């Protein structure tokens, strides 16, 4: 009983003193950030599935964002050139030699293991969404992705199914796919491999953003929509979505930034505009 009372007192103190700092995290443990200045808080463009999923998972409307990036490559370029920048991007799309530092969130780093067990706080899935019934060739392509294609998924992302042998039914037809620029490189690779197996299929993949792709699928302007975010309620009513890969949203800073970890509360506060200077994190 004494141990339980002491634990209760500890939790109460944590709630009273926590503020913007996660329980168990001491601001005095922050590295020396005095060499940094005003934060460059980087958001993604409107319509981006990564942007919408980040806002959903981090609980922010990004009112504190001071700059905008149009792609993962744009995020990497800005972070590499600006020591005061912080941004986010698809973990699986980041270049291995980009030179940026990936941050842990609540003490958990984004890795294949933490994405697979969902312990990293900013995990998400890529999906293909469609309206109505799949055609024979669309069904054959999706079957390929969820069987043999999961081996390709595993090269940069986390599979959602076990890799299995695939035997195409050689269905003929065209498939137009549009949407998420984060998912596009993976879907392009899968489409190329499938067409080598089934030369009767012709697949075109156009990278725009998740919202535009989903809208096109609803209108019938494309056959499959790539989405890197959860579907909204009205989208779920009009479309069927199939997860094809798991990924995460990585939060990154310039390589010269000594910061290694943020609590989710601190990350949200940064994007809400509550922190302006890097040294504010230590106050």
With a cut of 90, say whether residue 13 has pLDDT above it: no
What percent of the chain clears pLDDT 90, i.e. is strictly above it? 82
With a cut of 80, say whether residue 18 has pLDDT above it: no
Q: Return residue ranges of the chain for CATH 3.40.190.10.
A: 33-123+249-282
pLDDT bin (cut points 50, 70, 90) of residue 1 is very low
Cα 212 to chain centroid distance, Å, stands at 17
Question: Residue 97 burial (CB < 10 Å; 0-12/13-18/19+)?
Answer: exposed
For 36-78, the pLDDT digits (tens) are 999 999 999 998 989 999 999 999 999 999 999 998 889 999 9
For 126-145, the pLDDT digits (tens) are 999 999 999 999 999 999 99
pLDDT of residue 5: 42
In 39-148 the beta strands, taken as DSSP E runs, fall at 40-44, 67-69, 85-90, 100-102, 104-105, 123-130
Tell which residue, 280, 269, 266, has the closest CA to residue 23: 266
- Computed over every residue of the chain, the mean pLDDT equals 90
Q: Residue 46 contacts by C-beta under 8 Å, 6 or more apart in sequence?
A: none
With a cut of 90, say whether residue 19 has pLDDT above it: no
> What does the block give as tokens for 41?
């808080």
Q: Return residue ranges of the chain for CATH 3.40.190.210.
A: 125-248
With a cut of 60, say whether residue 4 has pLDDT above it: no
- What number is the average pLDDT over the span 223-237? 96
Q: Look at 29 and 269; give whichever has higher pLDDT.
A: 269
CATH code given to domain 125-248 = 3.40.190.210
pLDDT bin (cut points 50, 70, 90) of residue 94 is confident
Q: Residue 17 contacts by C-beta under 8 Å, 6 or more apart in sequence?
A: none
CATH code given to domain 33-123+249-282 = 3.40.190.10
pLDDT of residue 17: 40
- What number is the average pLDDT over the span 166-180? 97
With a cut of 90, say whether residue 25 has pLDDT above it: no
């Amino acid at each position: 009983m004494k141990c339980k009372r002491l634990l209760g007192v500890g939790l109460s103190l944590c709630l009273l003193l926590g503020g913007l700092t996660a329980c168990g995290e001491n601001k005095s443990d922050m590295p020396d950030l005095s060499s940094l200045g005003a934060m460059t808080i980087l958001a993604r463009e409107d319509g981006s599935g990564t942007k919408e999923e980040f806002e959903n998972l981090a609980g922010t409307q990004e009112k504190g964002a001071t700059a905008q990036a149009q792609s993962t490559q744009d995020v990497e370029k800005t972070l590499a050139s600006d020591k005061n920048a912080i941004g986010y991007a698809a973990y699986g799309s980041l270049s291995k030699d980009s030179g940026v530092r990936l941050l842990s969130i609540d003490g958990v780093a984004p890795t294949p293991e933490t994405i697979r067990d969902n312990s990293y706080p900013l995990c998400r899935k890529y999906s293909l969404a469609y309206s109505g019934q799949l055609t024979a060739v669309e069904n054959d392509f999706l079957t390929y992705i969820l069987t043999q294609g999961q081996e390709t998924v595993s090269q940069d992302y986390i599979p959602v199914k076990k890799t299995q042998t695939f035997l195409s039914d050689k269905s003929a037809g065209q498939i137009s796919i549009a949407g998420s620029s984060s998912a596009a490189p993976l879907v392009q690779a899968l489409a190329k491999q499938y067409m080598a197996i089934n030369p009767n299929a012709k697949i075109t993949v156009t990278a725009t953003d998740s919202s535009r792709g989903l809208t096109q699928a609803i209108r019938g302007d494309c056959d499959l929509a790539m989405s890197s975010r959860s579907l909204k309620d009205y989208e779920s009513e009009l479309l069927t979505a199939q997860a094809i890969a798991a990924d995460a949203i990585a939060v990154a800073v310039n390589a010269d930034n000594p910061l290694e970890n943020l609590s989710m509360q601190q990350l949200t506060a940064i994007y809400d505009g509550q922190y302006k200077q890097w040294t504010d994190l230590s106050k």
